[in-house]
Structure formats: C-alpha cells, structure tokens
Amino acid sequence: MQLPESFFKQRRLETLVENQTSYTLENAALHVFETHKQAEHVLLQFDNPVLASMLKGKKIMHLKDHRSFDFLPGESLILPSDELMCIDFPEARENSPTRCLAMAISDDLIKEVITFMNDKMPKCDQREWSFLDYNFHFTNDIGIHQILQRLLFLFTEAHPSKDYFVNNMLKELIIRIMQTNSNKIYTEKTMDSSKDGRLSYIIEYIRKNLEKSISVMELSKKAYMSESNFHRVFKNELGMSPVDFINNERIKLASSLLQDPNLKIKEVFMRCGFENRSYFNRLFKRIKNVSPREYQKKIFK
C-alpha cells in the first residue's frame, strides 16, 4: 500500500519512534505510525477495536497471550479494545522507516454491521456473527488491500463528504474481515462434523474428495438445503462461492504434490480433480501467480 502525497505534506516528524499522524472522523480514527530507529518494548493501546496493517518494514509483536510473531507488509491484525501491544522494531532506520496504520473503529458501527450480517447474511445452522474477541492475524486479500488503500486516500483527503464515504468503506471492510476470519477457521482447523454442523461437514467432504467431480447440487443435497440457499449461505459465511473454495483447495493440494519430484504434472492435476491440463495451468497461475512448471522449478532449483 502507498501513502498518498497529501500525507507527507501534512505530517510532522516529532519523534523517531512511533511518530503518530492521526485523522479522526465520525466512526473511526486512522493513525499512521512511523519509526526511524531500532527500538524494543514500545507499548501501544487503543480504547476501541483496532485494525493494524503494515505498510513498510517489520515489527515483532508481543501480545498478552504470550504470542510473538513477525508483522510484515501486506498483513493485518485485529485487536480488541484496550489490548496492550508490546512492539519491537529490529530493522527501522532513518532512511528506511517502519510504517504501520492503525484504524480504531467505533463499537456502534461494528454492532450495526454485525446486526446487518445476522439479518441479511445468516450463517449456517442459525449460528450468529459476532465480532472477533481475540487477536486475528491474517494476510490481506485483494479486496481488503484495495479497501485499505482507498481508506488511506479518503482519510487524508479534504472532502466535505468523506465521513459518508469512509463509513461505507468501513462497513464493507468489516464484512470482508469477518468472512476472512470464518474462512480461516474452516480452512485451518480440523473439525469434528458432528459438533460443528453442516458447513463443517461439507468442507471436510470437499477436502477428502478433491480428486472426484464435486457439484454444488451434490453438496447442497448433503447439507439438506436447496442449491440456491446453500450457495448463498456458503458465500455469506466464507466470502467466496463453493466452486471458488473447491478450486482453492485443489490448488493448495496441487502445490503440495508438486513438491514431490517423483510426480509428473499430469499425475498432479488428475489427483486434484482436474480433467485437463490447460484449465489446471490457468487456475494455478491465477491463484499462485506462477505456472505449475515455474512453481516446480523454484522448489527444486
């Protein structure tokens, strides 16, 4: 993400560690923090839930659950109200500062969006959406990246209607983050389908049958739902269609299989449920930004 020219014209450098430039609107405040020298154990805390997103450089985050991790550009972190962050800046330099945005969002707006999602975008099995009450660290997808880039521009722009513009962008951002979190839970955790309901069962079924032809009609029948309702509920909760989810899982499996030097590409795409190589190549490149052959070369060079 790039900071707009207006930011550099307006901001003042008053300290070399976590120099703060802030913009406050009706339902959110955006802060850009810049650090120009190495530092350790810098403390930071906000009254409202915060989205932190790295723009440049590297931080090491230490959170109250004793978890520490590298925080890098292209990544974001959701923190609940009053969460105390302890931050190290191992690589910050005067000519190469670390930059991070932190956006505090009002509880009222979050509650409004959650109410909307429960009303218009219900989860499967009557479970309700609720805001994240723990630290959620994730890589920005293209949708979230573009919203954050737009918000950087809107907050720094001198426009009479920017409160309205920002509120609309924040609502979309909250929905996308909630869906990203739901997707990550379903994707990364091994689930007991007897405990976690129909959608968990369907996702486990997809994973175990990637080599087979899987249709949305078949999945909807297994979920005891109409095809249209299944498609809607799946997309509402995971932020992508069932077909896109199946394709992502197949490419994830293909990425793993391509690391086996004894497997040919034909064997890989067939074991992942693809019927022809050209479609497999196109989809792999769209998701991984390289062809299967190029991916394999990088692994074995």
Alpha-carbon Rg for the chain, nearest whole angstrom, is 22
For 128-150, what is each residue's pLDDT tens digit?
888 776 688 899 988 999 999 99
CA nearest 113: which of 58, 41, 68, 169? 169
Q: Return the pLDDT at 187.
A: 67
Q: Do domains 5-186 and 193-300 have the same CATH topology?
A: no
Q: Return the pLDDT at 191.
A: 45
- Mean pLDDT, residues 59-86: 88
- Mean pLDDT, residues 253-276: 90
Please state, rounded to an integer, the average pLDDT across all residues of the chain. 89
Q: Return the pLDDT at 239.
A: 86
- Every domain of the chain and the residues it spans: 5-186, 193-300
State yes or no: pLDDT of 104 exceeds 60: yes
Q: May I ask the CATH class of domain 193-300?
A: mainly alpha
- Mean pLDDT, residues 171-183: 90
Residues above pLDDT 70, as percent of the chain: 94
State yes or no: pLDDT of 193 exceeds 50: no
| Higher per-residue confidence, 1 vs 70 | 70
CATH topology (fold) of 5-186: Jelly Rolls (2.60.120)
